[in-house]
Structure 1
Amino acid sequence: MPWKETTTMEQKIEFICEWRTGKYTVTELCKSFGISRPTAYKLIGRFEKQGFEALREQSRAPGKHPNATGQNIIEGILDLKKKHRHWGAKKIRELLFKDFTRQEVPSVVTVHKILKNNGLVCPQKRMRRVRPVYPIFDPKQCNEVWSADYKGKFLMGNKIYCHPLTIADSRSRFLFTAKGHYHEDLKSAKAEFTRVFRTFGVPEQIHTDNGSPFGSVRTIQRFTQLSYWFIELGITPVFSDPAHPEQNGRHERMHRDLKAACAKPSAYDLKAQQRRLNHFVKEYNNIRPHEALNMKTPADTHDFSTRPFLERIPDFHYDAKYKVLKVTQNGSIRWKSYYWVYVTASLMGKYVGIQEMGNGIWRVFYRNVFLGFFDEKYLRNKEQATRLEINLV
């Protein structure tokens, strides 16, 4: 019959039971169980204070680590998380430097661990790793490219949709405005762009998607009436490829933060919703550190534009090599009294310049922006109206 194996806990209990009989001295018990006298007295002391439960193996970790995070810092981390519940450990750690020294502020990993231990970190679903797509417009200077878009509509408490228009500088990420509108139309967008231009100046380019009122894949060069107004102000409209919002990814990422802060839940009406949007803009620009800016805020990085907004659009004078024609009410230009070339209804009443390329082909410009071309021979052969073409084939 094999010997019965005993655990350490069983041996401790047996030792205490033998000691309680009073038949043996501590020295004899130590010799029998193969332990030292200090160990024996330690077990006896723990048993007398807490009973048999005290005989279980206890942690040997020190009660207090010399490099442990101070309680005041932990409370500061938790307070910042309550104020900015959508921020992570990196951004919260950056704000700690305003109240504590660099030696006192813990690492990002420690801040994250403190938040996790207090139930303030929500585990995120692991996303499938995909090949990254980089933006096609990557400016190196402030006001080189601005991005604009209507963030997806959401219902307010009064069951009316809010459509926030956002405009931001693509280099500094400075958010000029988040304006709530009832509709995504030309009048609303133009009014807010005018206010922003008057305050911050105008950029060289404005990057948008192809949605109304910014662009349309069905028009020449995707230009809309708002696009032609930008051109008149000396701004070049640029567009993401259709169905590729990731090409303006930095703006879409800002929209995710805006939705979390302002639309979950939304306010009752547009006036209350606008207060939330204004608060988000102020926090996003002046308080929230940005990783792409080396943890600086957009307000610390942004410079105002030196190009002023033109309250009155000056007349444009085409070079003598151009023929100047007026776009009629049907969006076309009359060619040699007999033919019509359709340009766009957005330029109704405006003047375009026509430049001959040779062999009966003419290029059409609005101010200094190329729109397309038409073939004079095709008009004469068909004797009908035609539309501008973009590419020669």
Structure 2
Amino acid sequence: MPWKDTTIMEQKIEFICEWRTGKHTITELCRSFEISRPTAYKIIARFESEGYEGLRELSRKPRGPHPNATSEKVVKGILQYKEKHKLWGAKKIHRLLYNDYPGDIIPTVLTVHNILKKHGLVCPQKRLRRVKPIHPIFDPKHCNEVWSADYKGKFLMGNKIYCHPLTIADSKSRYVFTAKGHYKENFVSAKTEFTRVFRKYGIPKQIHTDNGSPFGSVAAIQRFTRLSYWFIELGIMPVYSDPAHPEQNGRHERMHRDLKAACAKPSAYDLKAQQRRLNRFVKEYNNVRPHEALNLETPASIHDFSTRPFLEKTPTFDYEPEMRVLKVTKNGSVRWGSYNWVYLSASLQGKHIGALEMGNGIWRVFYRNVFLGYFNENELRTKEKSVRLETNLV
């Protein structure tokens, strides 16, 4: 009968017992146990030299090191990188190995993963439900076409005070310009940090944000806020994700996940110490961490500075001669005639808007070169009360 995986040792012992009786020839035993003559002689030889212990299965591990085995210095380098960057996987660590070792001794990504797994440094990931891929609502082709900005969710520091990190990044190169910790999410704090970044890196064509304060407001005309109108004055167009759809700016949210893991788990004691962590994260994210979306290049190696400089003094703007230019009052409205008012937005107080007649009493309203909405002059005359600006004609 043939060997069985679960009773190999028992079969070998039975073979030796039958052979020792001397009642059977080797040929008969081989036919009975369905093994070859060389195998039979090998078992007998091992029994005669080592006894029954010699019948145990021997290890098939090579006696010497495998010629294609990863060298010890590379393994040590892999473990050192993992110790330094605990949240990075095999792909990023594999890319960094080229900075320290010649390419002919660097193993594959799978081998790097297996080395990490062998040393217990791979955390099993939760299996995610397969969903339809979501593409970004703005996908620039060049640097500085679109920047993204957001306040990463607040978290408590050691002194029990909340930190609100403001992050600004280029959507094409993923280059993070800043991660600035603030005590509050307000216009003054955001404008101060944007001014510093604009002075250093120039200005983009568009800035993509969500609809939260101070970037946008779903209740305001075109969702514009005081910060939005400041962007418009600088020649930057504010653009927004749809309400309740943060996945439309997924690349920025993905960066926030890394920032939270690196800087908020755990957080520092106070804002000064927390800012040092945020600065270290930005430096590593831009200059060290390879990005799969950039073919494992770093953002610093991809990003180019903007050719549009920041103007310290807000440039003036002249409306077309056929436009009626009106000043927005403190309550966010413009006077129309002697008794009527058209409400726009409190964020525009003190600024001048332009109104262009379309005919039949319909007027289009602009702030500088950006369209805001419509209003119907006939409704003012019949109702004799204030009318809100509308983005669509009914």
Q: TM-score, normalised by structure 2?
A: 0.91
1:55 aligns with 2:55: yes
Is the 8 Å Cα contact of residues 46 and 55 (structure 2) preserved in structure 1?
no
Q: What is the alpha-carbon distance in structure 2 between the residues aligned to residue 44 and residue 312 of structure 1?
A: 99
Q: State percent identity of aligned pairs.
A: 70
Is the 8 Å Cα contact of residues 143 and 171 (structure 2) preserved in structure 1?
yes
1:126 aligns with 2:127: yes
Q: What is the alpha-carbon distance in structure 2 between the residues aligned to residue 46 and residue 253 of structure 1?
A: 63
C-alpha displacement of 1:12: 3.9
1:203 aligns with 2:204: yes
Partner of 1:73: 74
Unaligned runs of 5+ in 2: 31-38
1:114 aligns with 2:118: no
Is the 8 Å Cα contact of residues 16 and 44 (structure 2) preserved in structure 1?
no
Q: What is the alpha-carbon distance in structure 2 between the residues aligned to residue 135 and residue 385 of structure 1?
A: 39
Is the 8 Å Cα contact of residues 353 and 366 (structure 2) preserved in structure 1?
yes
Secondary structure in structure 1 of the residue aligned to 2:373: strand
Secondary structure in structure 2 of the residue aligned to 1:277: helix
C-alpha displacement of 1:328: 0.7
Q: What is the alpha-carbon distance in structure 1 between the residues aligned to residue 331 and residue 27 of structure 2?
A: 112
Which of 42, 49, 66 is the matching residue for 2:46?
42
Q: What is the alpha-carbon distance in structure 2 between the residues aligned to residue 86 and residue 230 of structure 1?
A: 36
Matched to 1:381, the amino acid is T
Partner of 1:346: 347
Matched to 1:41, the amino acid is A
- Per-residue CA deviations over 1:131-176 (Å, capped at 9, x if unaligned) read 1111110000000000000001111111111111000000000000
C-alpha displacement of 1:37: 4.2
Secondary structure in structure 1 of the residue aligned to 2:103: coil
- Residues 300/46 of structure 1: CA separation in 2 closer, same or farther (3 Å cut): farther
- Residues 44/184 of structure 1: CA separation in 2 closer, same or farther (3 Å cut): farther
Partner of 2:246: 245
Unaligned runs of 5+ in 1: none
C-alpha displacement of 1:291: 0.6
Matched to 1:57, the amino acid is E
Is the 8 Å Cα contact of residues 16 and 44 (structure 1) preserved in structure 2?
no
Matched to 2:336, the amino acid is W
Q: What is the alpha-carbon distance in structure 2 between the residues aligned to residue 363 and residue 211 of structure 1?
A: 27
Q: What is the alpha-carbon distance in structure 1 between the residues aligned to residue 390 and residue 28 of structure 2?
A: 103
Q: What is the alpha-carbon distance in structure 2 between the residues aligned to residue 361 and residue 258 of structure 1?
A: 49
Partner of 1:331: 332
Partner of 2:33: none
Matched to 2:46, the amino acid is K
Secondary structure in structure 1 of the residue aligned to 2:165: strand
Aligned CA-pair RMSD: 2.1
Secondary structure in structure 2 of the residue aligned to 1:195: helix
Q: What is the alpha-carbon distance in structure 2 between the residues aligned to residue 196 and residue 122 of structure 1?
A: 37
Q: What is the alpha-carbon distance in structure 2 between the residues aligned to residue 139 and residue 128 of structure 1?
A: 29
Partner of 1:281: 282
Partner of 1:219: 220
Partner of 2:267: 266
Q: What is the alpha-carbon distance in structure 2 between the residues aligned to residue 31 and residue 355 of structure 1?
A: 109
Partner of 2:190: 189
Partner of 1:155: 156
C-alpha displacement of 1:40: 2.9
C-alpha displacement of 1:338: 1.6
Is the 8 Å Cα contact of residues 93 and 111 (structure 1) preserved in structure 2?
yes
C-alpha displacement of 1:38: 4.6
C-alpha displacement of 1:93: 0.1
How do 1:95-106 residues align onto structure 2 when only pairs under 5 Å count? 95-106=96-107
Is the 8 Å Cα contact of residues 43 and 55 (structure 2) preserved in structure 1?
no
Q: What is the alpha-carbon distance in structure 1 between the residues aligned to residue 282 and residue 266 of structure 2?
A: 17
Secondary structure in structure 1 of the residue aligned to 2:278: helix
C-alpha displacement of 1:315: 1.7
C-alpha displacement of 1:45: 3.9
Matched to 1:9, the amino acid is M
- Per-residue CA deviations over 1:265-301 (Å, capped at 9, x if unaligned) read 1111111111111000000000000011111000000
Q: What is the alpha-carbon distance in structure 1 between the residues aligned to residue 40 and residue 15 of structure 2?
A: 13
Partner of 1:307: 308
- Per-residue CA deviations over 1:79-137 (Å, capped at 9, x if unaligned) read 10111100011000000111222221111111111111111111111111111111110
Is the 8 Å Cα contact of residues 30 and 40 (structure 1) preserved in structure 2?
no
Runs of 4+ in 1 over 6 A off after TM superposition: 15-19, 28-32
1:8 aligns with 2:8: yes
Q: TM-score, normalised by structure 1?
A: 0.92
Secondary structure in structure 1 of the residue aligned to 2:238: strand
Q: What is the alpha-carbon distance in structure 2 between the residues aligned to residue 198 and residue 161 of structure 1?
A: 28
Q: What is the alpha-carbon distance in structure 2 between the residues aligned to residue 44 and residue 190 of structure 1?
A: 89
C-alpha displacement of 1:43: 4.0
Partner of 2:34: none
Is the 8 Å Cα contact of residues 12 and 43 (structure 2) preserved in structure 1?
no
